[in-house]
Structure 1
Amino acid sequence: MPAPVNEKLLLATDFVLHTRHNVFLTGKAGTGKTTFLHQIKGAAVKRLAVVAPTGVAAINAGGVTIHSLFQLPFGPLTPGATTREGRKFNRDKIRLLRTLDLLIIDEISMVRADVLDGIDEVLRRYRNPNVPFGGVQLLMIGDMQQLPPVIRDDDWALLRPYYDTGYFFGSRALREIPYVSIELTHIYRQADERFITLLNAIREKTISSAQLADLNQRYIADFRPADDAGYITLSTHNNTAQQINSTRLAELPGQEYSFEATTTGDFPASAYPTESELTLKVGAQVMFIKNDISREKLYYNGKIGRVLRIDEEDGVIYVEGQADGDTIIVTPAEWQNIRYTLDPATKEITAEVIGTFTQYPLRLAWAITIHKSQGLTFERAIIDASAAFAHGQVYVALSRCKTLDGLVLRTPIPSSSIKTEQTLEVFHEQVQQQTPTEQHLHEAKRLNQETLLDELFSFEHASTLLYRCRREVNTHGASFSDELAPALEALENELRPKARDIGRRFAQQLPHYFAQEPLPEANESLQERVRKAAAYFGPLLANDLLPALEQAPTDSDNKAVREALLDVMDELERELFVKLKCFERCAEGFDALGYLQARNHAELDFKPSRKRLEKAAEAGGSNRDDLYKALVRWRDEMAAEHNTTGYMVLPTKTIVELVKTRPNSTAELLAIKGFGKTKVKQIGPDIMRILDAYRSGTGTTRSGTKPAKADKEPTHETTIRLLLTGLSPQAIADKRGLSLSTIETHLTQAIKAGQVPVESLVAADTIDRIRAFVRANQGLKTSEIRAGLNNSVSFGEIRMVVAAGV
């Protein structure tokens, strides 16, 4: 007979995987919260990380501690503490955080509000600073009626000015965002309705005096179970549990056996799942502290048994199960301490094992603390909770038991130990009001898809970054090439009308489609618009915007100023590159998970063009690499001889252009950015000698490096050949996969060399207007000429006319 469907679990799964809503998953003890966590991990659809407030909880959840992943300082975190602490993350950690879709926080009841705000500060720092948690979706799992966060009085004195409560829901960042609350209600651990009713009354602090009296009937004075009965004592304090275990072990006759754990790599003692030195005797009552991962599933975390025999030579401990009487052969088990990393091949977040702890999966089990029992299930237990000092301790202890008959009270439970916190009562009422319906889920899916589509068509951030680039150049104009400001202006004249403004027009059409009944993913008319948009924006980004940005001359003799500019240009290039990959993914239509995957992969694949600069010459193989190295070596030697910088001799960008175009004459050399008549006279012969030696494959450079053989056809000659076949400059650019500005540069060189008449490329009236203006206004820059002509001509047309002579 198939198991009944748990509608709440299905609802939670859909919210986590198919929306961007934050989710608080709660529920009574034994309702399957931990099982749900592992199911979400197994789905592996979104990039996720699992964190928990303690080392043991993190190991049990298959994650890492909050403090280790986010490098938070210990102690109270007042607002801005993580920034003041100034801890730097390495590049891999930053890349991981930037591509994180989902953060799962287990045992959220034990997470302090200030720690959650510390997570928020870190994620804002490395992601979106304007959105809580940097835009990462949160899945918070826990039961607020169980163990609370540990906050010392002196710590709370520091936090009180900023927080109304220390519980996670007091987080300032969390209050800025909506989240749905889903409470699991089906209890898998207990089946006894009388016991379930009692537990619910304790959990909700509604227990009556009659119910408390019913519960206290389980008090048995001086109860001493038989050695083989399998009772475990749950105590509020650790020293009490240790004393019980030590006493009972000493009472057993026979030899003591000690087993030392082995650790490898990084596995802190605070996260050990059991004692590093385990001392046992035959007859000792033990508890399994790990699930059996073998096919037989002979034991589980929390199963009680008794040691039958210890075979020290074979390294085997024989344990008899208390409930079923089966004999279990126990060998050492391994726990793993993991670190999240990015797999360079799959671009997925993976759990890298950084340390292991190997020990028999057992601990003495006549007694255990209530704190360590959270998440476990026992057939028989003795509850010693009269000294309960924290909210939730009584409920956690009692709810570990499967039946009321299997529970014995060491002392009667007074009503005072069932602690009530008004803050939690108010929060629980709010949780009840935040339970979503199927309609909420449908709208959440719609909102998620609509938000991603709005993001896809927005070029606002790119426009802002380009403005910052231009402002940086205007502020430090003297430090850069005269060509840089016009290049950025030309890029802006492409990006704003063709990308930002067209993107806005597409975005203005979206509400019409969003108002229609189907979700965006299922709306075929909208999907057709997306496909058409991808066909337009993809080539624009690939062939015009990105090449124009990459070719902007950024060389400067002021290293600090150049680095400041490049930081912004890198961000702009990243933004455009990610846009390109997202539009490529949408060429066949839009789906939310596919879009997210494309966006995250693009973030990981991106490398700034300045870091590819030295590799540009390698595009055609080792031959180009040799030429590039030869030119750099010659440049550096010249700079050393004349006590100047390499940039002043020959900028890197110019070297790359030389490698790409390989001019055959001084006239062609003049067409290369970075060369003027004076520079050609000074260093032209040396440059041509290196290029000639490279072409012949027989000569040597100034430094004795033997250049390699050239390619068959220089790139500018390919452009001229295609022009002569009747193709327009734009058609050539499309055919070669280059930007129009690059093709125009080739044609300008050809005009200057007398290979192509300017009249074949520029209209006669345009030539006359440019020549007349230039003659009347000598010494102006290209951008100034264009402004003087009311921007009615292009930069390419101006350069071609000037190259032909005025």
Structure 2
Amino acid sequence: MIAPVNEKLELAHQFVLHTNRNIFLTGKAGTGKTTFLHQVKQISAKRLAVVAPTGVAAINAGGVTIHSLFQLPFGPLVPGSTLRESRKFNKEKIRLLRTLDLLIIDEISMVRADVLDGIDEVLRRYRNNGQPFGGVQLLLIGDMQQLPPVIRDEEWSLLKPHYETGYFFGSKALRQIPYISIELTHIYRQADARFISLLNSIREKTVTRDQLADLNQRHIPNFAPHDKEGYITLSTHNTTAQQINSNKLAGLPTGLHTFEAIVEGDFPTSIYPTEASLELKVGAQVMFIKNDITREKRYYNGKIGQIVDIDDDIIYVQCGDNEDVIDVLPVDWTNLKYTLDPATKEIKAEAIGTFRQFPLKLAWAITIHKSQGLTFEKAIIDASAAFAHGQVYVALSRCKTLDGLVLRSPIPSHSIKTEQTLEDFHDEVQQQTPTEQHLRDSRRSNQQVLLQELFSFERASSLTYRCRRVVNEHTNSLDAECFPILTELRDLLQNKARNVTNRFQQQLPVYFEEETLPEENDTLQERIRKATAYFQAVLGDELLPLLHRCPTDSDNKQVRESLLEVLDELEKELFVKLRSFESCRDGFDALSYLKARNHAELDFQPERKKLEKEAATTTDSPGRGGLYGALMKWRNDLAGEHDTSGYMVLPQKTIAELAKLRPTTLDELLAIKGFGKTKVKQIGQDVLAVIKDFLERPKPTKETKEKKVKEPKEAKIPSTTQTLALFQAGKTIAEIATERGFAVSTIEGHLAQCIGQGELSVEAVLPPERIKLIRSHLETAPSTTFTELIQTIGNGVTYSEIRFVNSAIRAELGEAE
């Protein structure tokens, strides 16, 4: 019995970890679905989040509710309705959703189809991905023969025109994607073959008249057990359960004790695991609602007992005459919020609120709905008035044995609800059970998708087009150099990136036809390593530096913000591509690639901000500092004095022209666009004075800078020196990059500078045969570009290796790096 279970669990683990297939994990009650969920959270290398439809289910699963994570409105989410629009997400949550690899939804049987489509809309929107669920892998866990989603008649009247069924599998988004189904079959909760057979027949709606008669033998009229026997009543309706508990508690002659919960932080009342004001008496029958986390494991969620004594801070509970008394102390429940750890870049569950109370609730009776997921030794089932599909099965399957079960009234055949929709779905599920071959095919498909994503510059091309469109529409408001730079960027991207990857993608199907996985294909891996070296150079040395040169100043604040928004998106896309290629330096590995791509999404900061800050402190800078900065300051100060806008004094484009041409006479000012005779008469002399003052200003030297320092400060160690020290200490380039928080290419650039300055021998970085090979090509064709050399030399040579050797040659010739 164990081997098949292990095989199915292992198969499920493999699909979760190594494929992008969506998975429906199902199984009878007591087959270990929740255990599997917690195992996945521990072993998966993917960034994941766990959600559930109710607060109690979310707490039990160690996750959050669907509505809280995706900020969905309550009530029906009608397609096309404004009600589907979620509240505005903060940046932190958007970053979390954009880097999500796996979404686990527990108790999927209780999730409505429109709610699943609401999740789909949020993920598509904030991940900028038109695929269903924004391309996130789904793990849906639940048993469709258990409790269904709650849909009121008035809600269904709104949803019915759009959905064939309210169950999750009616989701429009889910129907657009294939998913595999894995059913766990080994039952841990019950061991009695007769009882298991009866439960299976009820679950599958094949119960015979004889089986029903056998079950109804457990109907004992006027059954009134003593509280010490530990029976709990499972009722279909909440009012019935509450009335039983209230009457039983009131009938006890002992004194009433009230225990107030301590609630800290964010912990909504809707997810309280027990009463905030817990009223108990000695003699009350109670149920533990949490597992004992101590080594003794004295109680578990669902265990029934009787209170034998109460102190101020301890409640004593005995579970059966022969068991030791358990001293129960208050425990904590935690309300979680998913956040991104800034250090590890991993999704972590952050506690935002706690609920401290005794892990008990009155347990003469509870609803069948609240019993889902619990296990009882003895139970009285009151299910003759079952009104929902799955209620009878859930109630009966809570019990460990048939002998521990008593029926309040016989179970009529009509209370075992049958839904043809679920029967059809079950048949469909049986046809989607995967094999080992399906797993291998899915791994191959996943790796193919990731490689095609890696070797695609379509999004970068689209963003470049958007940048040029913004500039073209606002030419008069932006720097004249902006459009030519973006045009050059477009051509460079097209010729050196898109065209190359398009040719490479045409060749990929040939490799994909082979039996081996892409990760195991040596020929393909060699091609990927060569392509990685090429694209590292194109991205790091050509595309990104060119983008950083694009001026963004404008007197029109709205235009500038529009340009910056799309430029930042383009820079981020190119930055993520660079990091993604860097992860493939030694070959393609799916999980490594995913991790590198996601980390790059989180690490990205627009280089423009750093460059502008540097320019502001550089007197000769043609950018936002220097003469341009001096003229802008003068203009804005004058505008402030006259309570007018800066562009009314001088347009930004005119100031850029002034900084570039540096006129020294009024006649030269007249030749500049934006200056007429009136403007020259009004402010001409002032403008010339600013220019003259700037040109005559002495440039600061090291000596004058040192004199200005009032107090000696600790000298900052150059970045290249820090890298060199770590390298000489024995750390690898990859280790240094991780420790310093830089890209690998940046660290390689530091070492190349050290080689060029004679501080490091090239032999310390490369083997002699590699140096000899590269040096011969450099000396034979000194004018050849590095990119051309990579193609000529072959053998997996990288851009950085060529730069190392070239720096060594320059050092020998006395040329500074």
Deviation at 1:58, TM superposition (A): 0.9
**Letter in structure 2 aligned against 1:337:** N
Task: Give yes or no for contact 2:231–2:380 (8 Å, CA) kept in 1.
Answer: yes
The question of 1:116 aligning with 2:116 is answered yes
Task: Give yes or no for contact 2:654–2:673 (8 Å, CA) kept in 1.
Answer: no
Alignment of 1:240-319 (within 5 A): 240-312=240-312, 315-319=313-317
Q: Distance in 2 between matches of 1:619 and 1:449?
A: 47
**Letter in structure 1 aligned against 2:13:** T
Q: Distance in 2 between matches of 1:346 and 1:492?
A: 35
Matched residue, 2:11: 11
What's the secondary structure of 1:545's corresponding residue?
helix
Matched residue, 2:193: 193
Cα RMSD, aligned residues only = 3.6
Q: 2:693 aligns with which of 683, 686, 689?
A: 686
In structure 1, the gaps of 5 or more residues are: 714-733, 739-760, 763-806
Matched residue, 1:744: none
Moved more, 677-686 or 593-602: 677-686
Matched residue, 1:219: 219
Matched residue, 2:633: 636
Task: Give yes or no for contact 1:47–1:348 (8 Å, CA) kept in 2.
Answer: yes
CA 1:339–1:682: 2 relative to 1, 3 Å: same
What's the secondary structure of 1:564's corresponding residue?
helix
Q: 2:417 aligns with which of 419, 429, 434?
A: 419
Matched residue, 1:228: 228
Moved more, 518-527 or 368-377: 518-527
Q: Distance in 2 between matches of 1:2 and 1:78?
A: 45
Alignment of 1:83-162 (within 5 A): 85=85, 87-162=87-162
Matched residue, 2:507: 509
Matched residue, 2:603: 605
What's the secondary structure of 1:6's corresponding residue?
helix
Matched residue, 2:534: 536
**Letter in structure 2 aligned against 1:550:** H
What's the secondary structure of 1:586's corresponding residue?
coil
Q: Distance in 2 between matches of 1:556 and 1:195?
A: 77
Task: Give yes or no for contact 2:635–2:649 (8 Å, CA) kept in 1.
Answer: no
Q: Distance in 1 between matches of 2:103 and 2:491?
A: 40
CA 1:2–1:87: 2 relative to 1, 3 Å: closer
**Letter in structure 2 aligned against 1:294:** T
CA 1:692–1:618: 2 relative to 1, 3 Å: closer
Task: Give yes or no for contact 1:219–1:409 (8 Å, CA) kept in 2.
Answer: yes
Q: 1:574 aligns with which of 568, 572, 575?
A: 572
CA 1:619–1:156: 2 relative to 1, 3 Å: farther
CA 1:348–1:397: 2 relative to 1, 3 Å: same
**Letter in structure 1 aligned against 2:405:** L
Task: Give yes or no for contact 1:557–1:647 (8 Å, CA) kept in 2.
Answer: no
**Letter in structure 2 aligned against 1:639:** N
Q: Distance in 2 between matches of 1:698 and 1:51?
A: 58
**Letter in structure 1 aligned against 2:217:** Q
What's the secondary structure of 1:93's corresponding residue?
helix
Q: Distance in 2 between matches of 1:685 and 1:287?
A: 87
| 1:172-194 Cα shifts (integer Å, max 9, x gaps) | 11100111111111111011111
Task: Give yes or no for contact 1:128–1:135 (8 Å, CA) kept in 2.
Answer: no
Matched residue, 2:426: 428
Deviation at 1:80, TM superposition (A): 3.4
Deviation at 1:682, TM superposition (A): 6.2
Task: Give yes or no for contact 2:654–2:674 (8 Å, CA) kept in 1.
Answer: no
Q: Distance in 2 between matches of 1:126 and 1:307?
A: 51
Task: Give yes or no for contact 1:639–1:649 (8 Å, CA) kept in 2.
Answer: no
Q: 1:332 aligns with which of 326, 330, 333?
A: 330
Q: Distance in 1 between matches of 2:540 and 2:321?
A: 67
| 1:510-529 Cα shifts (integer Å, max 9, x gaps) | 22222222211122222111
Alignment of 1:33-44 (within 5 A): 33-44=33-44
Deviation at 1:653, TM superposition (A): 14
What's the secondary structure of 1:587's corresponding residue?
coil
Task: Give yes or no for contact 1:631–1:690 (8 Å, CA) kept in 2.
Answer: no
Moved more, 131-140 or 281-290: 281-290
Q: Distance in 1 between matches of 2:358 and 2:183?
A: 36
**Letter in structure 1 aligned against 2:578:** L
Q: Distance in 2 between matches of 1:664 and 1:694?
A: 23
How many pairs does the alignment contain? 699
**Letter in structure 1 aligned against 2:256:** E
Task: Give yes or no for contact 1:263–1:355 (8 Å, CA) kept in 2.
Answer: yes
Task: Give yes or no for contact 2:630–2:690 (8 Å, CA) kept in 1.
Answer: no
| 1:208-263 Cα shifts (integer Å, max 9, x gaps) | 11111111000000001122111111011111111111222223232222111110
Deviation at 1:693, TM superposition (A): 5.1
Deviation at 1:610, TM superposition (A): 3.9
- TM-score, normalised to structure 2's length? 0.80
**Letter in structure 1 aligned against 2:453:** E
The question of 1:549 aligning with 2:550 is answered no
Deviation at 1:19, TM superposition (A): 0.5
Q: Distance in 2 between matches of 1:192 and 1:684?
A: 95
Matched residue, 1:482: 480
Q: Distance in 2 between matches of 1:700 and 1:638?
A: 31
What's the secondary structure of 1:201's corresponding residue?
helix
Moved more, 129-138 or 371-380: 129-138
CA 1:615–1:298: 2 relative to 1, 3 Å: farther
Deviation at 1:84, TM superposition (A): 5.9
Alignment of 1:704-715 (within 5 A): none
Deviation at 1:10, TM superposition (A): 1.2
Task: Give yes or no for contact 1:555–1:647 (8 Å, CA) kept in 2.
Answer: no
Matched residue, 2:646: 645
Q: Distance in 1 between matches of 2:454 and 2:559?
A: 32
Q: Distance in 1 between matches of 2:347 and 2:700?
A: 49
Task: Give yes or no for contact 1:309–1:317 (8 Å, CA) kept in 2.
Answer: yes
Deviation at 1:616, TM superposition (A): 3.2
What's the secondary structure of 1:377's corresponding residue?
coil
Deviation at 1:162, TM superposition (A): 0.5
Matched residue, 1:765: none
In structure 2, the gaps of 5 or more residues are: 719-747, 753-781, 784-817
Deviation at 1:556, TM superposition (A): 2.0
What's the secondary structure of 1:434's corresponding residue?
coil
Matched residue, 1:743: none
What's the secondary structure of 1:103's corresponding residue?
strand
Q: Distance in 1 between matches of 2:627 and 2:700?
A: 11
What's the secondary structure of 2:228's corresponding residue?
coil
Task: Give yes or no for contact 1:693–1:700 (8 Å, CA) kept in 2.
Answer: no
Identity %: 65
**Letter in structure 1 aligned against 2:139:** L
| 1:263-297 Cα shifts (integer Å, max 9, x gaps) | 00110111000111112222221111001111221
Task: Give yes or no for contact 1:238–1:369 (8 Å, CA) kept in 2.
Answer: yes
Q: Distance in 1 between matches of 2:227 and 2:84?
A: 57
Q: Distance in 1 between matches of 2:289 and 2:82?
A: 35
Q: Distance in 2 between matches of 1:654 and 1:322?
A: 89
**Letter in structure 2 aligned against 1:128:** N
Task: Give yes or no for contact 1:556–1:647 (8 Å, CA) kept in 2.
Answer: no
Q: Distance in 1 between matches of 2:505 and 2:413?
A: 61
Deviation at 1:597, TM superposition (A): 0.7
Deviation at 1:459, TM superposition (A): 0.8
| 1:569-590 Cα shifts (integer Å, max 9, x gaps) | 2211111110000001111111
Task: Give yes or no for contact 1:318–1:329 (8 Å, CA) kept in 2.
Answer: yes
The question of 1:25 aligning with 2:32 is answered no
Q: Distance in 1 between matches of 2:133 and 2:218?
A: 47
Deviation at 1:686, TM superposition (A): 2.9
Q: Distance in 1 between matches of 2:534 and 2:278?
A: 68
CA 1:59–1:282: 2 relative to 1, 3 Å: same
- TM-score, normalised to structure 1's length? 0.81
Deviation at 1:90, TM superposition (A): 0.7
Deviation at 1:490, TM superposition (A): 1.1
